[in-house]
Amino acid sequence: MTVETPDQALVRAAMEQVWESMLYAVAEPWAPGDHPDFRNGLQAQIALTGEWNGELRLTLDGTVAAEIAGAMLGADEDEELPELDVHDAVGEVLNVVGGSVKGALGGATALGLPGVTPVTVAPDHDDCVVVAWRGSPVYVQVVPAAG
């Protein structure tokens, strides 16, 4: 069985499910505007290995990350979540998106554990699925393994 690189429509659909069920929001496409500079940004990665090899990489602004974590955990508006919780929530969002994508690919592919760091690689805007969170962009890029 040949497994093709996951396409953007699949990634977008997976994000829509996560937004709807975990964040109680509608994942609208982001209306193009100024891309943030991500100086306070976070980046999550999760690896897929097996019949398709590569990773999914999620990039978002730090404030957006905190809001998403708050929505996911049902935190009060003015509750400031510890960094650990924000990182964990962002990682879990990508984990669930990654699991859905992997399941839809078919074939034998394994999902790694998510990692979350400050932004190290600015997202390639043209190559990303960009979904809005309260008007701000959340990027997910499918990055096939080199070779």
Partner 1 sequence: MSISRDAFNFVRELVHAESAIVLEPGKEYLVESRLLQLARQAGHDGVDGYVAHLSERRPSAGLRQVVEALTTNETSWFRDVDPFNTLKNTVFPALAANRTDRRLRVWAAACSSGQEPYSIAMTANDTPALAGWKVEILATDLSEEMLTKARAGEYSQLEVNRGMPASSLVRHFTRSGLNWRLNPAITQQVTFRQLNLVRPFPPMGRFDVVFLRNVLIYFDLPTKRDILRRVRQVMAPDGHLFLGAAEMTMGVDDAWERVPAGRSSVYRIREEQRACVPW
Partner 2 sequence: MRALVVDDSRAMRRIVGRILTDAGFEVQEAGHGQEALDLLTEHDTPPDLACIDWNMPVMDGLEFVTEVRSRPEWRSITLMMVTTESEQSRIVRALAAGAHEYLIKPFTADALQEKLDLLGLVPLTAGDLA
d(CA 65, CA 69): 6
Q: Which residues 23-42 are close enough to bind partner 1 by CB under 8 A?
A: 24-26
Taking CB under 8 A as the criterion, which residues in 112-131 touch partner 1?
none
- Contact with partner 1 (CB under 8 A): which of 33, 106, 112, 118? 106
**What is the residue type of 101?**
V
Q: Candidates 5-13, 33-41, 109-117, 132-140: pick the segment binding partner 2 (CB under 8 A).
A: 109-117
Using CB distances below 5 to 8 A depending on partner kind, what does residue 144 bind out of partner 2, partner 1, none?
A: none
The structure tokens listed for 98 are: 């990654």
Under 8 Å between Cβ of 140 and 128: yes
| Smallest distance, partner 1 to C-beta of residue 127, A | 21
CA distance 97 to 12: 9
Cα–Cα distance measured from residue 13 to residue 117, given in angstroms and rounded to the nearest whole number:
25
Which part of the chain contacts partner 1 (CB under 8 A), choosing from 15-23, 37-45, 49-57, 71-79? Answer: 15-23
